[in-house]
Amino acid sequence: MPSSPNKSATTSKDFDTTLMICILRNLSFIPPPSSGWDTLPPEFENTLGANLTIIKVYRNKLCHASQPRINDKTFRKMKSSLIHAFSEISCGLTDSIVREIESFDFEGCDKENLLCKIQKEIRDIRDDMQFHYNWKVNTANVFGEWRAEVEHFYETQGFLGENNFS
């Protein structure tokens, strides 16, 4: 499943969640949760197998849902379970990422603000391009002046005597 036909080696980055969990659970070194691999484990079960099952079950529920919506209570429960599962599996490495996502101001990220930010970035890029264009023109002018000065250079006997190249 390489992401590119020209890519020779496949890495775990090329696998989706379901395939990765399937591979991990079939390696037989991860014991299954008490509920099995296809059912949510009890909330008190905090094993690697239980956390992988939480991720797999919620991923499948969200990806194969008949409705594109879930209620707030279900969302909060899924979110809490997934945050805990990722934190346990990563030994806390995902905690700062989760805090960053949770602190992001999604309400303040409306279309107008986004448009203003993009327009500012475009202006900044134009200013940078103008600077480089002006630099190019100024450099060309300086070289043009030097070229004009060199054209008025006359070879004298002193020049020919010191630099006899013939």
Tens of pLDDT, residues 9-52: 777 777 788 888 888 888 878 899 999 989 999 999 999 999 99
How far is the C-alpha of 158 from the C-alpha of 150, rounded, in Å? 17
How far is the C-alpha of 73 from the C-alpha of 55, rounded, in Å? 18
Question: Which of 123, 127, 103 has the alpha carbon at shortest distance from 115?
Answer: 123
Q: Is 159 or 61 the better-scoring residue by pLDDT?
A: 61
Question: Which of 118, 80, 119 has the alpha carbon at shortest distance from 102?
Answer: 80
pLDDT band at 158 (very low <50, low <70, confident <90, very high): low
Specify the DSSP class assigned to residue 8. -
Q: Is 131 or 119 the better-scoring residue by pLDDT?
A: 119
- pTM of this prediction exceeds 0.75: no
Question: Which of 30, 14, 21, 24 has the alpha carbon at shortest distance from 56?
Answer: 21
pLDDT of residue 81: 94
